[in-house]
Chains A and B, each alone.
Chain A
Amino acid sequence: MRIAEPQISRRGAFLFVALFSCLQITLGFFLINGTGHDSVLSAQIDTPATYAEAPTLDEMEQFTLGVSSIEPAAGFPTDASLSDALPQEEDQDIINQKLIEALTTLSTKDSGEQ
């Protein structure tokens, strides 16, 4: 066992330990600051574990009633406007007729080219 080691190797070992401690301090600060976690804290998310009891039917009904009673903001489509926008039965017949016409014209064009 030797006490007097070469100074250069000892300085290298000191450098190694210094780097080791610096890395440890840096990682510790990262952990303290919360780096690496998701942006939303887990406490802010309502996971199933946060519900102590399942909601009853009355509560669910009240919830749906509450949602339906909310009036949409200006610019959002209402139920009436959505039903107007959807194709009616009469419109559907016209669409079908136009489709058939388009298909027949296409088939006649193909037969003429051949």
Chain B
Amino acid sequence: MSYYSSKHPGLFIYMILVSITVIGFLFFNMGSFFIGILSVIWGIYTAMRALSLFEMSEHYEAYASMQDPSKNNNAQTSSLAYDLMNRMNRGRNMKRGMLALYCLHERTILWFMLALLYTAYHLHTASVVQSKAALMETMCTLFMIGAAFWAGQSYAHSKRVARALSALFGVLFVMSLFKLRASINLSVLDSGLAQSGILNLGQPEILLLILMLYSIAILLFALVEQKNSPANIVVGLALVCIMAACHILLIPSTATTALWLSGWGLFSVFWVRSYGTQQKRYVLYQCE
């Protein structure tokens, strides 16, 4: 998983991992053993992805300074053309990878801080009724959702990859919605939103509400600031609203984890694309 050898290192592994996790949570009764295995795999993947970004962040400047095809740089190679082509490809990959560093932006780190706050408060309130193993399972699943959200952001800067990821996450999200439509909590609809948990202060849901409001605020800020990708922003806002509605209506279970994972993964694509740079293409016209 290095930008020296690949355009999008680890993308294939990420897509497979997301598919396995969502399908596992959706169709199989996942015990703590399998959640543990998935958590370890996600943790290793996150560490590897962070290392590949760290490599580029720390070595790109030194590498870019070596791009000058001078005699000194090519003295040890027998094939000058091959060496040049190889170095040009590597340089192109590295430039692409620089955009992936947006996943370490302050707005994303703040999102993670809020998510960790929600996790900590959720565990604090649930520690009275749940066992230690159940709390660790909850923590692992929340960390998996966070890892999927972060890694999705690191890939979605590329237009082609963003399309592939949105297609995959979209299919998984719709599949989760269809699978979970049977577990809608009708009592919430009967009693109304005023009596549901999301509007009661002092519960962990209020922190989740803050997290969602923060996501909406970031997208609205992008809409006001740039005005170059309103479609991504509108879809992102709609997605957050759907997830909030699902959180209120669905009965919490292990299968709803699949919905959150695919939903936040899909949202990561629109989150990054809403801040996407507007590429300017200059065309030189040669007049005769």
Contact = CB atoms under 8 A, between A and B. Distances in A.
Interface of A: 1, 3, 5, 7, 9-10, 13-14, 16-18, 20-25, 27-37
A28 B43 contact: yes
Interface string B29-41: 0001101111111
B137 interface: yes
A22 to B, nearest CB: 7
Contact of B43 (A5, A9, A22): A22
**Chain A's interface: helix, strand, loop or mixed, by majority?**
helix
A29 to B, nearest CB: 6
B43 A31 contact: no
A22 B50 CA distance: 12
Q: State the 10 A-B residue pairs at the shortest beta-carbon distance, nearest first.
A: A31-B36, A28-B39, A36-B132, A36-B133, A25-B43, A24-B43, A28-B40, A32-B36, A13-B104, A21-B46
Contacts of A29: 36, 40
B44 A25 contact: yes
B203 interface: no
A3 B133 contact: no
Given A5-B104, A21-B46, A28-B140, 13 more contacts: A3-B101, A9-B106, A10-B101, A14-B104, A21-B47, A21-B50, A27-B140, A27-B143, A28-B39, A28-B42, A31-B33, A31-B137, A36-B133
A23 B135 CA distance: 14
Nearest to B146: A20
**Chain B's interface: helix, strand, loop or mixed, by majority?**
helix
6 contacts: A5-B105, A13-B104, A14-B57, A27-B36, A27-B39, A34-B33
A31 B277 contact: no
B36 A1 contact: no
Contact of A21 (B44, B105, B133): B44
Contacts of A13: 104, 109
Contacts of A28: 35-43, 140
Nearest to B38: A28
B264 interface: no
A3 B104 CA distance: 11
Contacts of B43: 21-25, 28
B155 interface: no
A33 B109 CA distance: 31
B73 to A, nearest CB: 25
Contacts of B106: 9
Contacts of A10: 57, 101, 104
